[in-house]
Amino acid sequence: MNKNLRRWLGLGICAAILALGFYNLSRGEEWKHFDWAKVWLSLRAAQPVYLAGALVATYLTYFLRAYRWRFFLDPIKKASLWNLFVGQILGFSAVYLIGRWGEFVRPAYIAKREDVTFTSQAAIWLLERIYDMVFVILLFAVALTFGPLQPGTAHARHILRATRWVGLFIILLAFLIVAILVIFRLRAEELTSGTPRLFRFLSPRGQERLNRFLQSFADGLEVIENWRDFFSSLASTALLWFTNTCVFWLVMRSMGGDVGQLSWFASALVLVFSILGMLAPLPGIGGGFQVLSIYVMTGFFRVSPESATAASIMLWLMISVPCVLLGLALLVYEGLSVKKLGAMAEKEHATVAGKV
C-alpha cells in the first residue's frame, strides 16, 4: 500500500469515526430542535474585546513554546529566540494544513536554522510532549476538583468516571516515561559508548546509525541534568498551559449566554477534552476537537447545543486561523512553502529511520 493511499485511508477512517461520534451526540433530546440560526446569532454577538485578548494570548503561547525550547536547547547551543518562534509557528501551521505529519516540521526547521542534528531536536520534541502531557493531566485533575461539573445524563456521568480512570493511567504512564528518560540520561555515556547488547544483531551500518541516534538523543535530554534550565522549563510549561486555558476562557466569555458564564476551571476541562479530540484531526478542520468540546459543554455543563456549537467553532478559529495566517506570512518571508516544509521534515525523518 503506497503512502498516499495509506494517508487517504487514515483520513477516511478518522472521518467515519468523527461522523459516528457526532451522530451519537446529536441523538439527545435537546438536539431535536437544533437551530443553526441561533448558532449564527451567537457567532455574530461575540464580543471583540474578549476575542482580541484571546488573540494576544494565542500568539503568546507560541512565544512561550519557543522560550521553553530554548531552555531545552541551551546545553547544546545558545539558540535564537526568533528562529525558535518561527519554528513553532511554521510547525503548528503545517499540522493544521497537512495533518500530523507536520509535527516533524518544528524539529526539522530548528535543526536546519540552528545547525544542530535533527535527532537532538526530535529528542527535545519528545521531551516537550512529555512535559505537556504531565501538565495537561495536572490541569485535568485541577479542573475536575474545582470545576462546577453538572453531568445532565447517566451517560455523561459514566464518561466522567471512565475519564478519571484514563487520567490516572496516563499520569502513571507519564511518570514511567519520565523515569526512563532520567535513567537514560544518567547512563547516557554507557549507552552511547557502544552498541547496546540487545542490538548487537544489527549490521555494522545499522549499529552506527543507532549509536549516532542515541548520542544525539542524549544531547537533547541534557536539560534533565541542568537544574536551572529544568526548573525554568517547568515554570514556562506551567505558564504555557495557564495561557492556553485563558485563550479558551476568553473565547467562551466573548460568546455570552450560558457559555460565557462558564468558569476558568470549566474552560480548562473543555481544553483537555478538545486536546483528546485533536489526536485524530483532519487537515484544515478541527474534527474531533469540535465533537468533544461540544460534548463537554452540553453533557458536563448543560450548555445549549447551539451555544456549544458556536463556541466550538469560534475556539477552533481562534487557535488555528491566527497561526496559519502568520505561518503563511513567515513562509513568504523565509522563501519557503508548505510543500518544502513537508519535504524537509520527511527527509529528516527518513534519515533517522534509516530509509535513506
Domains of the chain: which residue ranges? 36-160+222-352
pTM of the shown model: 0.77
What digits encode the pLDDT tens for the residues 88-142? 999 999 888 877 677 888 998 998 899 988 878 888 888 888 889 888 888 887 7
DSSP one-letter code for 101: G
| CA pair distance 92, 103, nearest whole angstrom | 7
Q: Helix %, strand %, coil % for the chain, to 5?
A: 80, 0, 20
The candidate with the shortest Cα–Cα distance to 237, out of 327, 340, 134, is 134
| CA pair distance 26, 20, nearest whole angstrom | 10
What digits encode the pLDDT tens for the residues 37-88? 777 888 888 899 999 999 999 999 999 999 999 988 887 888 999 999 999 9
What digits encode the pLDDT tens for the residues 190-225? 666 665 666 666 777 777 777 776 776 666 666 666
Whether 95 and 323 have beta carbons less than 8 Å apart is answered as: no
For the chain, how many residues are written?
356
| CA pair distance 23, 32, nearest whole angstrom | 12
